[in-house]
Structure 1
Amino acid sequence: MVSGTAPFTDDLDALAAEAQQAWTHGQPLPSPCIRVCRIDAHTGWCEGCFRRLEEIGDWGSRGEAAKWAVWLQVERRRGNDGSR
């Protein structure tokens, strides 16, 4: 994962690793929220967790598979999905 590009990147890296472990072991997934809540006007993503408003708003009502899909989107948006 890319670290050090912003002061809060390490926090999200740690949560992403925790999410991967939880998914692997069938445990509840943590939210990607790192309490840096600003929506980028250009992308529509939160600058802290890289989620869109609808992904943030319905996190609590999503099942684990849907939460994992959001985590995969977060990693794509961050460029940590192997596509770079």
Structure 2
Amino acid sequence: MSSTLELLAAKAEAAMAAEDNVPSPCVSVCRMTADRSLCQGCYRTLDELRAWSGASDGYKRSVWRQVLLRSGLVREPQD
């Protein structure tokens, strides 16, 4: 696992345990993919990055779930 993914995985544990003040998935690798769809460090979209500071903890948890899926750290359940 790359060091970026290791950092993200460590932050995910804290984020999912937080009852409030959900921490950001930022791992200080702030580069967008070539198509500008995702940050290469935290796997958030531009809209998610922009909304983060004013977002509710519920929204932040939903973004974290998407980050974990996009990064491959978790997989969607198969039926």
The interval holding the TM-score normalised by the smaller chain is: 0.7 to 0.9
- Cα RMSD over matched residues? 1.6
CA positional deviation for 1:43? 6.4
Q: How many residues align?
A: 77
Match of 1:73 in 2: 66
Gaps of 5+ in 2: none
What fraction of aligned residue pairs are identical, expressed as a percent? 35
Match of 1:36 in 2: 29
1:30-77 per-residue CA deviation (whole Å, 9 max, x = no partner) reads: 000011001002461100000011111110110000111100110110
- TM-score w.r.t. the length of structure 2 is 0.86
Match of 1:47 in 2: 40
- Does 2:14 match 1:14? no
Q: Taking CA–CA contacts closer than 8 Å with sequence separation of 6 or more, which of the two structures ends up with the larger relative contact order?
A: 2
- TM-score w.r.t. the length of structure 1 is 0.82
Gaps of 5+ in 1: none
